[in-house]
Chains A and B, each alone.
Chain A
Amino acid sequence: MGGFTRPDHSEDEESSRFGAGNAATRAGNGGGLSDGEFFIRKTFETDVQKGCELLFQRYYKPMCSHAVRFVYSKDIAEDIVAEIFCNFWDNESYQTVHSSFGAYLFGSVRNRCFNYLQKEQNKTLSLDAIGENDPVHSILPEKIMQYEELYQQVNTLVTSLSPQCQKVFIMNRFEGKAGKEIAAELSLSTRTVEAHIAKALSILRNGLRHYWTEILLLAQSGILMKEFENILTSL
């Protein structure tokens, strides 16, 4: 990857500037990712493919790390992130994105993880009222805050597992090891390992159930409030 030395260098500069800059003033003058993306934006003007590669180099890792917090599986997270980049290229999203690319990409990761978990939950709980989570929603402040709640909830649930169960679960979801391998490594029976994995998944699913019902209630109370306003204005 000799061809990519230049952007790497510019990233180094970027991150040092990040560290030193006074955060509050940067927020005030509307800084953020956009100024850091100046070089990438410039590249997009001349070579779109190169621009996409630069974005990938810069954001792929942190995006995967973020996705993992929601889905707690390396494979699923990396698949979600790869899909986002492929769509970004296929739909030529770089032409239509108004925000910085980074904000767009991170917004997409959160949306997709949310939708993924929701679909998983939907199979056991009927939640039609929430509806699809379209990207417009990701700019609503309360929505942004919900995402934090969601992955922190996942984290709390994983932490709540017994140490052995946690270990097995992580070996399975992060090191891609099958039940048998784990059993051999930890000298447990395959059945115990499978029971641990099933337990972890059921704790996750049941633990998140409260989260979804809460969102559902929030969404519905939001509708009621809007209707109330409609009625008031129509009077």
Chain B
Amino acid sequence: MSLINKSFLFEHFAGRTSPLQKKLIEEWLQSEAAREQFYSWLAEWETTFPLYDPELAAPLERFSAYMRTPREAAPAGDLKPAARRSAFTGYRFAAVIALLLAAFAGWLGRDHLVYAHYHADFGKTNTILLTDGSRVTLNANSVLRVPRWTFGNSNRNVYLEGEAEFSVRHLPDHQLFEVHTMDNALVTVLGTEFTVYTREKHTNVVLNKGKVRLSPPARGQSHTMVPGERATIDTGGKIKVEKLTAAQLEAGLAWKQHRFIFDNTPLSEVAERIREVFGVQVQIADKNLAIRTATGSFPAESAEELLTNMSVMYGFEIVKTKKQLQIIPIP
């Protein structure tokens, strides 16, 4: 017979079991009957030693009212359930507000109150029209924060994590538009088109049109860019400037059409790019495969699609596990 009994588990719920005893419980939990028993005791424990005493009558009344309203929207003539429904949704609304406030004010500090957050999820892009008429296209896995109350008052500051193309409107009062990057560098603009990339490794800015000024994090020498340039800020805070060809400029914006352009890019870097854009880990176990380079333009909206498109040319197979993709050379 198992050692596990009610008082044993009560001790466990209260946090008074040793690692060895926890191991016993974990083994015991293998069977479905044991899991049923576990939850039964958990319910009993919470009833016997509650952390607080919640009020039951009012929530129960709200729940009953919720169930009495039809699941689909109530027909217009039917007043009573509609009124009840709104009472309950009102409660839910209030509860959600309370929850949001608690979450925002508490866990996040004032961040979400002060800034509007725009996201592009893995594998997606997101185009945002700011209140001043400037347009921002976010690449996958990127966040743009815009101050809710002060944006456009006397200056325009935005904060970027990830990658985005900006098309900045020139305002009559020549207001500056400033992009703050992850490493606290600053891109200052009057009205122009440019792309900013700012992730863990480095920050870079590609200028298509107009004029921007790039200021490194530590108050080093700032640089005024001319169109067709790419400026990279390395971890030391130094700015490196390269002149891009028309093809390279186009490649830099390929993500807007969900295309990937590689030019002698090692597969290990391709894997890194996939992690940034799709949030998928790609593992290349074979060293020779990892240093092989890829060249070409690949349309893809998912990591698997991209790798499948590349697999024929570079002779590898894709093994899919739950949390990551693995590529292995075809012998």
Q: Which residues of A contact B (CB under 8 A)?
A: 1, 15, 18, 23-34, 36, 49, 52-53, 56-57, 59-66, 68-69, 73-76, 78-79, 82, 85-86, 89-90, 99-100, 102-103, 106-107, 120, 123, 128-129, 131, 139, 141-142, 144-145, 148, 152, 155-156, 173-174, 197-198, 201, 205, 219-220, 223, 226-227, 230
> Once the chains bind, are B56 and A103 in contact (CB under 8 Å)?
no
Chain A nearest CB: distance from B42 CB in Å? 6
Find the B residue at minimum CB distance from A128: B279
How far, in whole Å, are A232 and B118 apart by their CA atoms in the complex? Answer: 45
Extra 6 A-B pairs, beta carbons < 8 Å, given A52-B63, A69-B51, A89-B66:
A33-B39, A57-B60, A106-B42, A107-B39, A223-B321, A223-B322
> Once the chains bind, are A74 and B108 in contact (CB under 8 Å)?
no
Contact residues in A for B122 (Cβ distance below 8 Å): 128
Find the B residue at minimum CB distance from A139: B35
> Once the chains bind, are B36 and A24 in contact (CB under 8 Å)?
no
> Once the chains bind, are B324 and A223 in contact (CB under 8 Å)?
yes
Contact among B7, B42, B54, B106 for A64, CB-based, below 8 A: B54
> Once the chains bind, are A103 and B95 in contact (CB under 8 Å)?
no
Contact residues in A for B66 (Cβ distance below 8 Å): 86, 89
Known A65-B54, A82-B62; judge A28-B2 contact (CB<8 A).
yes
14 sample A-B contacts, Cβ–Cβ < 8 Å, listed by A number = A1-B60, A18-B40, A18-B44, A28-B2, A32-B39, A52-B63, A56-B60, A60-B54, A60-B60, A65-B51, A65-B52, A89-B63, A142-B26, A173-B102
Chain B nearest CB: distance from A134 CB in Å? 12
Chain B interface extent, by class? 35 or more
B149 within 8 A of A: no
How far, in whole Å, are A168 and B92 apart by their CA atoms in the complex? Answer: 27
B173 within 8 A of A: no
How far, in whole Å, are A69 and B7 apart by their CA atoms in the complex? Answer: 20
Chain B nearest CB: distance from A38 CB in Å? 13
> Once the chains bind, are B29 and A141 in contact (CB under 8 Å)?
yes
> Once the chains bind, are B98 and A75 in contact (CB under 8 Å)?
yes
Number of contacts between A and B (CB, 8 Å)? 186
Find the B residue at minimum CB distance from A74: B52
Contact residues in A for B102 (Cβ distance below 8 Å): 73, 75-76, 173
> Once the chains bind, are A99 and B36 in contact (CB under 8 Å)?
yes
> Once the chains bind, are B106 and A102 in contact (CB under 8 Å)?
no
> Once the chains bind, are B321 and A27 in contact (CB under 8 Å)?
no
How far, in whole Å, are A74 and B52 apart by their CA atoms in the complex? Answer: 9
Contact residues in A for B39 (Cβ distance below 8 Å): 32-33, 99-100, 102-103, 106-107
Find the B residue at minimum CB distance from A11: B47
Chain A nearest CB: distance from B257 CB in Å? 25
Chain B nearest CB: distance from A144 CB in Å? 6
B103 within 8 A of A: yes
> Once the chains bind, are A1 and B57 in contact (CB under 8 Å)?
yes
How far, in whole Å, are A57 and B41 apart by their CA atoms in the complex? Answer: 18
> Once the chains bind, are B60 and A102 in contact (CB under 8 Å)?
no
Q: Which residues of B contact A (CB under 8 A)?
A: 1-2, 4-7, 12-13, 15, 22, 25-27, 29-30, 32-44, 46-47, 50-54, 56-57, 59-60, 62-64, 66-68, 71, 92, 95-96, 98-99, 102-103, 106-109, 122, 279, 281, 319, 321-324, 326
Contact among B40, B71, B109, B323 for A36, CB-based, below 8 A: B40
> Once the chains bind, are A131 and B323 in contact (CB under 8 Å)?
yes
Contact residues in A for B92 (Cβ distance below 8 Å): 82
Find the B residue at minimum CB distance from A22: B5
Contact residues in A for B37 (Cβ distance below 8 Å): 26-27, 30-32
> Once the chains bind, are B107 and A75 in contact (CB under 8 Å)?
no
> Once the chains bind, are A68 and B5 in contact (CB under 8 Å)?
no
Contact among A53, A59, A73, A141 for B27, CB-based, below 8 A: A141
Chain B nearest CB: distance from A111 CB in Å? 13
> Once the chains bind, are B42 and A23 in contact (CB under 8 Å)?
no
Contact residues in A for B40 (Cβ distance below 8 Å): 18, 31-33, 36, 100, 102-103
